[in-house]
Amino acid sequence: MTKVPLLDVAGVLGWLRREPLAEVIASLATQLEADFRTWERFEKLARVAAHSQSGVIELMPISNGTEYAFKYVNGHPSNPLKQLQTVTAFGVLADVGTGYPVFAAEMTVLTALRTAATSAVAARYLARPDSKVMAFIGAGSQAEFQAVALRTELGVNSIRVWDVDPAAIKKFVQNARGLGFEVTVAPSAAAATHGADLITTCTADKQKAIVLTDENVTPGVHLNAIGGDCPGKTELDPAILDRASVFVEFEPQTRVEGEIQSKPESFEVTELWRVITSAAPGRSSDDQITLFDSVGFAIEDYSALVYARNQVAGTELVTWLDLVASPADPKDLFSFVIGAELLPVDDQTFRRY
């Protein structure tokens, strides 16, 4: 039998309860940065999306010629009304040489980790290193992970938060204060962002919205815009983009899904990997407004799967999935299926007439 190692939900939780979350995110950020440095080796494709009135279901594939990865992920903003999560996911790593899967994992939690780690990498290159205050517009499932990532990267411990949902704010405040953050609940987005050095927008509604207006963004700010991630879904006043230096993951995908979907093809952006490899500048002055228009890209899922596999390999956290049929004779799947003894066939049966 060929069984596939599986990091299931219990395995992920067991892993994260034995390793400090900040260390996991920091190490994952290191893995991400290393993979971004090999960007040109990857065969890249914008995710394949099936949209409906309820949400979206997506496949996110990528390969570097040695390993292939994909993630299945959904985004359904009304799910919490049904006591379901907005986003769920799972992913697979495969060996390019054989096509066989070599690792599978839940990716609802892993996606939150890799999204936070990606924001940390972006902040490393684009935010002012003397940043002191971060603002969150949106206090949903991503917010705490983002806060841990930015504190780990930049040492920022002061948070201002605003959300239209009081329950989300209550949840975030409880969790963030439990992690040692100084948290101020703001009465509006404008109040949350006033004087902030870092702004993260992470709302969930599938619509073109303006949760952050141009006057809320002052010189020197770095924005991680992570909520707009599909056609027809944005968070920022388009005027902000005109004042900012805009950085993206994979431009062809972000043109369709990101904040820049409101802009013409001629609108200039820089892919983040070019900054990481010094092929393009990142932040060039303290007054510059930098914007990471992040929609999530498959290379990040590849990094998360590789990192998770390496961390849990050989431990009791891994279970085994009987996913691939393995007949004794790889050319005789039929006998494997019927499970019966077959009479031997004399070679003369196949003689030519």
Q: What amino acid occupies position 157?
A: N
Query: Residue 340 pLDDT more than 60?
Result: no
pLDDT score, position 66: 97
The tokens describing 185, both together, are: 């609940």
pLDDT tens per residue across span 138-167: 998 899 999 999 999 999 999 999 999 999
Mean pLDDT score, 90-100:
98
Mean pLDDT taken over the chain: 93
Catalytic residue among 35, 229, 293, 301: 229
- Share above pLDDT 70 across residues of the chain, in percent, rounded to a whole number: 93
Mean pLDDT score, 49-65:
93
Backbone angles phi, psi at 138, to 5 degrees: 115, 125
Class of domain 2-109+301-330: alpha beta
Q: How far apart are CA 63 and CA 51, in angstroms?
A: 24
The tokens describing 17, both together, are: 């309860």
The tokens describing 134, both together, are: 């971060």
Mean pLDDT score, 306-325:
96
pLDDT tens per residue across span 250-305: 999 999 999 999 899 999 999 999 999 999 999 999 999 999 999 999 999 999 99
pLDDT score, position 353: 43
The tokens describing 46, both together, are: 């914008």
Mean pLDDT score, 230-254:
92
CATH 3.40.50.720 fits 128-297, yes or no: yes
pLDDT score, position 232: 77
pLDDT tens per residue across span 101-144: 999 999 999 999 999 999 999 999 999 999 999 999 999 889 99
- Sign of the CA dihedral 50, 70, 304, 14? positive
Query: Residue 320 pLDDT more than 50?
Result: yes
C-alpha neighbours within 13 Å on the C-beta side of residue 177: 11
Query: Residue 233 pLDDT more than 90?
Result: no
pLDDT tens per residue across span 175-204: 999 999 999 999 999 999 999 999 999 886
Domain assignments of the chain as residue spans, ordered by start: 2-109+301-330, 128-297
In three state form, how does the secondary structure of the chain look? Answer: CEEEEEECHHHHHHHHHHCCHHHHHHHHHHHHHHHHHCHHHCEECCCEEEECCCCEEEEEEEECCCEEEEEEEEECCCHHHHCCCCCCEEEEEEECCCCCEEEEEECHHHHHHHHHHHHHHHHHHHCCCCCCEEEEECCCCCHHHHHHHHHHHHCCCEEEEECCCHHHHHHHHHHHHHCCCEEEECCCHHHHHCCCCEEEECCCCCCEEEEECHHHCCCCCEEEECCCCECCEEEECHHHHHHCEEEECCHHHHHHHCHHHHCCCCCCCEEHHHHHCCCCCCCCCCCCCEEEECCCCHHHHHHHHHHHHHHHCCCCCCEEEEEECCCCCCCCHHHHHHCCCCCCCCHHHHCCC
C-alpha neighbours within 13 Å on the C-beta side of residue 157: 7
* Owner of token pair 């070679």: 347
Asked whether the beta carbons of 110 and 91 are under 8 A apart, the reply is yes
Backbone angles phi, psi at 340, to 5 degrees: -120, 155
pLDDT range class, residue 174, cuts 50, 70, 90? very high
Give catalytic status of residue 130 as yes or no.
no
pTM of the predicted model as reported, rounded to 2 decimal places = 0.92
